[in-house]
Structure 1
Amino acid sequence: MTSLITTLPHAMRAIGLAFALSLGASATLPGAATAQGLFEPVVKVNGAAVTRYELNQRAELLKLLRAPADPTRLARQQLIEDRLKAQAAAAQGITVTDDQIRAGMENFATQGGLNADQMMALLERGGVSEQTFSDFIRAGLIWREVTQARFGARVSVTEDDLDRARAAMSDGTGVRVLLSEIIIPFEGPGEEQAMAKAREIADITSTGAFSAQARQFSATATRDEGGLLPWQPITQLPPVLRPLVLGLAPGEVTDPLPLDGAVALFQLRDIQETDVPEPSYSAIEYAAYYIPGGRSPEALGRAVQIGEQTDTCDDLYGIAQGQPENVLERGTKAPSEIPNDIAISLSRLDPGEVSYDVTRAGGQTLVLLMMCGRSETIEEAGETAALPDDDSIDDGTIDVEGGEGGEAAGDNTEQLSQQIAARRLESFANGYLEQLRAEARIIEY
């Protein structure tokens, strides 16, 4: 999950209005945070505590910024990630200065037509301390330094990359890709062995050899077909995967992509331009049904049985009837908010289809995923409208925001090259963050 500091700028265009609306209600000033238990930990990440006060403060900040998610849930997730990022920075000897943080605060505020002092004054009126805002900015800056130091040398953009990106963004055309996949699962100490095998496979350039490895090592439903996937629009791939695939020539394989309890690799078999632009998606609705037993024959058999008994996400409520509420989860998320392993699995599915190659709880729980529907983003006349492609998304709202006027379009080679490089760096950073989270000891109270 990328930091909110990189995912909120479009919303910051209206931040003045957001603050005006948010501050109409009475607020609790930071100085009043003296209640018993407010500074007790709610989470520990490798021993580093996140206090209830920090959680409350971050949630209030996200409310004021109108974050597109439940603020308390997102705040907890962000603060866990902030601890992981800080620990990674400390391990590499990376720090940021007070001047850098101040400049970051100014830059963030500028996106809403404010300066840092004006923004901090509004935040304080809303009950959010300057330290909370500073910590929010610090986390984004320090992660940028960590990922640049760790992955910057691995990011390059070729003329072929630019040509493919121009084709993907040009009017009247789209891009679709033909991929093969391998997802190698591991448990506990098996990660090192799985990653070593993945690095070997990443050097393969033969589609036949890649398929042979898929049949032997992959945990997906496509393993018996050698990992072969059908043609897919590039826009249907998860955000973490698109820049990696666009950087490949036919026959080449992505670098190993760390997931939760697994390592993924993808081989590009072919790439084509189409006569019409492929739709992009602003939101994906899906359901997750949790089956104990991991990848055991019994759990997989149960998943197959459920898949045969259900046609829509609503059918899963009948399957889960009489069981604990947390056995079934259903929701709608932006593509960038979906965990990479789930996003990769969902990318193969049409509404009503299921997959069961994702696990949780260290491989002890099998996750049956069902695609409920995708909200299609249609760009027209400088606006972006999110429209559902399935009746299951029926909240009656259409999200329309002013577009950037084709921010990445045109033939500005330097700007396009920077955007491609930034996306690739972000994909490496997301994979690294998932790896850190998988390896961390996280205790939630």
Structure 2
Amino acid sequence: MHRNDPFVSHSVLRLTPARLAVAAGLLALAGAAVAQDAPQPAPVEAPAPEAGTTVAALNLPQGPTQFLAPDPNVRRATAKVNGDIITDTDISQRVALVVAASDAKIGPEEMGRLRLQVLRNLIDETLQIQEAKAAEIDVDEAEVNQTFARVAQQNFGQNPAALDGYLTKIGSSAASLKRQIRGELAWQRLLRRNVQPFINVSDEEVNESLERLKAAKGTDEYRIGEIFLSATDDTKPAVFENGKKIVEQIKQGGSFVAYARQFSEASTAAVGGDLGWIRLAQLPTELATVAAQLGAGQLAGPVEVPGGFSILYLIDKRQVLTADPRDAVLSLKQITLTFPKGSTQASATPKVVEFSRGVKAIKGCGDAEAAATALGATVVGNDNIKVRDLPGPLQEAMLKLSLGETTPPFGSVEEGVRVLMLCGRDDPQAGAGPSFDELMSQMEDERVNKRAQTYLRDLRRDAVIEYN
């Protein structure tokens, strides 16, 4: 997913390592996508159970009351999964990863719900590692350390010690993240051995899809993130409420990718819920109807689908086999004016007006450094910025600029005021679309994902789990 990373500062050319470490790149090796305001479906009221259903067969009272009051001194925060122990520390350290990836404050009630969900995730992770081990699939320590080092490099540009120190600082640990890495590698390897060989996509199916793709040239396709929460008839109301809480946390600043990693029960959880570029016809009708109403950066859900609920995030949108102006690669110079500590809006405004006039007088990018120095400003350049990677409001502004022109000033007294100057633009070529092999791989992945969900459900059903 190209993903518009919300942890890229609006200065565009400056990245903050500490915030990048918190970003979904920490929890998924690709970047994050954060949801903005989106229309939400009206809450679904759970229907009364019909005669003959699983719930009705249990003959449950409509208003059950607890017979014995819970003992506040008894905590069920740890578990044994087929003999392997999950400790309270394991849960706390994994929760810390989710909390660190969210700008939102998490209240006591939500924290309790989050801990329960993390425990469920750790149980699934344990089952996956156990199943891989039973199949004599082992992920050695060197491979885990190599992946950990890659996370450190991508998010810190430093050695693993920097990431280790950061994890300790937020209340997590390198061991917790490495266990998650080990679980994902083991599960992926197991699926490649036990599921993928039995997935069959014929050449005819792929060729038919390619023909449909060519026929759809110019129509819209979508890059979508999904968090899937499985539910039975009995658990639907509780799962729906949990989904609403997840949506609220993401809307308040949480990382969609981080929540997808920790909550989604689809195999795409490993890549932050990213479904890749798809057309709406490839989605279930329930999801296609909702996705069609979303704009890039919007969130919707939970939406009821067969087997549970989905939360959707529209990462991006484009037209099939058509060049998208937002794929243009720009050469930019960012000119920044900063203010002394303690400056007020009133004292900064005259300086910004003077700065704006001075910027308009700059004679192209070759004159930028000298002119900026005279204005008391600084210049940073970058020759490899895609339009679609810029914050939304700047995308439209940049597409309207000619070489040497600048955006209107943006920023704040605290962070400084900036303009972007366009120094070059390489326009995109019309895409040829996916190759035969790429499309076959995508179709195989979709079928593996469905089988993987069934595989994990079977492991849960057969597990012996003891709670302490």
Higher strand share: 1
Q: Who wins on radius of gyration, i.e. which is larger?
A: 2
Q: The TM-score by the shorter chain falls in which range?
A: 0.3 to 0.5
Question: RCO higher in 1 or 2 (8 Å CA, sep ≥ 6)?
Answer: 2
TM-score by length of structure 1 reads 0.44
TM-score by length of structure 2 reads 0.42
